[in-house]
Amino acid sequence: MSLIITNDCINCDVCEPECPNGAISQGAEIYVIDPALCTECVGHFDTPQCVQVCPVDCIPKDPDHVETQDELHQKYLKLMG
């Protein structure tokens, strides 16, 4: 499952540089996560780094992009391929 940034985002800029896959970018009003690139840091770290650094806890799992740990790992392997 990829992650999503909610409207509670304060545009603090700390999440974008933490993403090892480059999945986070500035959207029209708040930061956004590209579900095609988000692996929840599987393959890089034990926990999603954006969630770790977010000061307002606005990065939950995206219910519209449900993936298993194995699917996230396979996505990671494709991205690193």
Domain CATH number, residue 44: 3.30.70.20
Count of structural domains, the chain: 1
Residue 40 vs residues 30, 45, 63: alpha-carbon distances, Å: 19, 9, 13
pLDDT band at 4 (very low <50, low <70, confident <90, very high): very high
Phi and psi dihedrals of 70, rounded to 5? -65, -40
pLDDT tens digits, residue range 8-56? 999 999 999 999 999 999 999 999 999 999 999 999 999 999 999 999 9
pTM: 0.94
**32 φ, ψ (degrees, to nearest 5):** -130, 155
Q: Which structural domain, as residue segments, surrounds residue 41?
A: 16-80
3-class DSSP state for residue 72?
helix
d(CA 9, CA 77): 29
CB count in 10 Å sphere of residue 74: 15
Q: Is residue 9 part of a domain?
A: no
